[in-house]
C-alpha cells in the first residue's frame, strides 16, 4: 500500500485548532431545555458517541475503522456553525450549511484526505452505509443517556423524557432500542 504524503505541520495545526473548537461548543439543548449552565460540549458528546460506536461495531463485526471515522466526523461542522437544536436547524438547509462548513474545515488538509473525510461525512449525512445508519442512531442513544444522567443527578428523572422520546422516535435498531430501554425515565 502506497504511503500518503503527510500534511504540513501548519495545515495540521490549523485543522486541529479549528476542530478543537468543539471542546468549547456547549450542547444547546441542555442549556435551553434543562437550563444547565455547564453542560457537556460537542466534543464530550462526540467522544462517547465514538466509544459506543467502537464497541457496538466491533461486537457486530462491522467496519469499525469506517464507523469510527463517521462518529468522529459527524458533528465536526459544528466547529464552524455551532450546535443547534433540531427546531433551530434541520433538513436541507442544515445539510447545506454543514456541508459548506465541512468543506471549509477540510480545506486545511491535503486533497486526498479531504476527499476521504468529505465522502465519509456525506455518507453520514445521507445514511448510505450500514455503519452510517448505526452511527446516526448511536448519536441519538448517546443523547438519551446524557439526558438520563443529567436528570438523575438533578433528582428529576422525568426531565429526561423529551430527550428519550426524541431518541426513541429515531432509533429502530433492536440492540439500540434495548439500550434505550435501560435509560427510560
pTM for this prediction: 0.93
Per-domain residue ranges for the chain? 9-182
Give residue 60's pLDDT: 98
Give residue 1's pLDDT: 53
CA distance 33 to 16: 31
Q: Name the helix (H) or strand (E) containing 43.
A: helix 42-60
Residue pLDDT, tens place only, 79-99: 999 999 988 998 999 999 999
Distance, C-alpha 92 to centroid of its chain: 18
Contact criterion met (CB below 8 Å) for 52 and 46: no
Give residue 5's pLDDT: 65
Write phi, then psi, for 37 (nearest 5 degrees): -85, -30
Domain 9-182 annotated CATH 3.30.1540.10: no
| Number of other residues whose CB lies within 10 A of the CB of residue 17 | 11
Amino acid at each position: 500500500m502506497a504511503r500518503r504524503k503527510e500534511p504540513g505541520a501548519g495545515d495540521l495545526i490549523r485543522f486541529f485548532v479549528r476542530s478543537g473548537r468543539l471542546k468549547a461548543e456547549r450542547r444547546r439543548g441542555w442549556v435551553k431545555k434543562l437550563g444547565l449552565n455547564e453542560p457537556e460540549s460537542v466534543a464530550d458528546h462526540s467522544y462517547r458517541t465514538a466509544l459506543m460506536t467502537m464497541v457496538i461495531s466491533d461486537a457486530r463485526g462491522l467496519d469499525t475503522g469506517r464507523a469510527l471515522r463517521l462518529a468522529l466526523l459527524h458533528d465536526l461542522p459544528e466547529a464552524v456553525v455551532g450546535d443547534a437544536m433540531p427546531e433551530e436547524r434541520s433538513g436541507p438547509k442544515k445539510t447545506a450549511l454543514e456541508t459548506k462548513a465541512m468543506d471549509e474545515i477540510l480545506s486545511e488538509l491535503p486533497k486526498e484526505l479531504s476527499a476521504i473525510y468529505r465522502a465519509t461525512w456525506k455518507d453520514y449525512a445521507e445514511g448510505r452505509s450500514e455503519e452510517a445508519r448505526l452511527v446516526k442512531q448511536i448519536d441519538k442513544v448517546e443523547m438519551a443517556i446524557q439526558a438520563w444522567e443529567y436528570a438523575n443527578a438533578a433528582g428529576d428523572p422525568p426531565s429526561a423524557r423529551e430527550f428519550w422520546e426524541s431518541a426513541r422516535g429515531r432509533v429502530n435498531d433492536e440492540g439500540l432500542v434495548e439500550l434505550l430501554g435501560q435509560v427510560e425515565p
